[in-house]
Amino acid sequence: MVKRRDVQEQHTYTKHYDGHVIVYDQGRTSWSAYVDDLPACFAAAETFEECQRLIREGIAVYLDASRHRGPHNSNAAVS
């Protein structure tokens, strides 16, 4: 007999920030976010406010690093 697992309900929201669309996902106990047009730019946190702050910081770091790398390496991941 297969036991049914609790389905984790997830809600998705989008917001615009500095010319980018941020996709926020609300899980049962946390939030995550990513920017579709900036590969490897994502964040996760317990609260929406913290996730929002982290993704905005991530966008700034990503764009700053992209300016230093130049257009030929714009898809390289930033750590």
Residues with Cβ within 8 Å of residue 36, at least 6 apart in sequence: 21, 23
Is 80 exceeded by the pLDDT of residue 70? Answer: no
Average pLDDT over residues 63-79: 65
- Domains in the chain: boundaries: 11-69
Q: What is the pLDDT of residue 9?
A: 55
Locate the DSSP E strands across 5-55: 11-17, 20-26, 31-35, 42-45
* Residue that has been written with the tokens 């809600």 in this structure: 11
Is 70 exceeded by the pLDDT of residue 3? Answer: no
Q: What is d(CA 8, CA 60) in angstroms, rounded to the nearest whole number?
A: 32
Average pLDDT over residues 2-19: 68
Q: What is the pLDDT of residue 48?
A: 96
pLDDT digits (tens, 9 = 90+) for 15-64: 888 899 999 999 999 999 999 999 889 999 999 999 999 999 999 999 99
